[in-house]
Amino acid sequence: MSNILNLRHSVLPGFRLSFGITLFWLALIVLLPFAALVYSTVGMGWDGFAAAVGSPRVIAAIRLSFFTAGLSALINLVFGFLVAWVLVRYPFPGKRLVDALVDLPFALPTAVAGIALTTLYAPNGWIGQYLAPLGIKVSFTPLGIIVALTFIGLPFVVRTVQPVLEDLEKELEEAATCLGASRWDIFRRVIFPATLPSLITGGTMAFARATGEYGSVIFIAGNIPMVSEIAPLIIVSKLDQFDQQGATAVALVMLGISFVFLLLINLIQWWAARRHGAR
């Protein structure tokens, strides 16, 4: 085994055992189900695939999923950066509490987030009652989906940008100040470019998570076909009708589009890293 793996010699024991456990568990829990997905895809045939994915309702759902995920990722880029910035740079009372709170979307089960947000933004809810007179409907519209996805994605951006801002050398800003740059110049030309890679990473993670999100969205979305029905819900309802083939087809399209997005963003990151040298 160690030959195939080209294992570098180490005095530490336990490689066979730990590697064995890892591989066994990975195969059983992750690889086997994926194999099942690939297997049923192969057995599907083009016609079945096209029929399942081609219907206007499915196309609308996929479009909605990626559109709302993209928009919520953009919102999170702005506010996630702001939150990270304020947490790193400005002192204020209760900062540690606020810092801990940022992880809430990671820790709070999605279904709980879903019903809580729906209740808040319903026309008679704590926030919804102020929006309703303005003619803004959030719950049971695409806007509600964006709210839920923003909630889900926020910590991804904050937690990737925050350490980069923390590690940003003060000398860089001092050097720029000595050279006569204003605060705005420094932000625009020194700080922002330095944090951009982490913003892209965080935004991508928020986006990827949002495209597949289910629990927090289905309550607030209202799930009106062609209007506020997301792609994961299509998969679920196809499964409810025992249409496994259709569900698989939609899942494949979702995975495919996500994969292309991830690839693109990795390419950008790779290109940026190469340009800026070893450090």
Task: Map the footprint of another protein across residues 128-147, applying CB under 8 A.
Answer: 147
Q: How would you label 121-143 residue by residue, b for 16+ Cβ within 10 Å and e otherwise?
A: bbeebeebeebbeeeebbbbbbb
**CA–CA gap between residue 194 and residue 188 (Å, rounded):** 10
Among residues 26, 50, 136, 264, the one that binds another protein under rule CB under 8 A: 26
CB of 117 to another protein, least distance (A): 6
Does residue number 46 form part of the binding site for another protein (CB under 8 A)?
A: no
H helices of the chain, in order, are 15-26, 32-42, 46-53, 56-89, 95-101, 104-107, 110-121, 128-131, 142-167, 170-178, 183-186, 192-212, 215-221, 231-240, 244-275
Does residue number 42 form part of the binding site for another protein (CB under 8 A)?
A: no
Q: By CB under 8 A, which span of 48-56, 133-141, 165-173, 263-271 interacts with another protein?
A: 165-173
Among residues 57, 103, 224, 270, the one that binds another protein under rule CB under 8 A: 103
x-or-dash string of contact with another protein, 52-71, rule CB under 8 A: --------------------
**Which residues, numbered 193-212, are part of the site for another protein (CB under 8 A)?**
193-194, 196, 208, 211-212
**CA–CA gap between residue 217 and residue 142 (Å, rounded):** 10
**CA–CA gap between residue 82 and residue 192 (Å, rounded):** 12
CB of 152 to another protein, least distance (A): 10
**Which residues, numbered 1-20, are part of the site for another protein (CB under 8 A)?**
2, 4-8, 10-15, 17-19
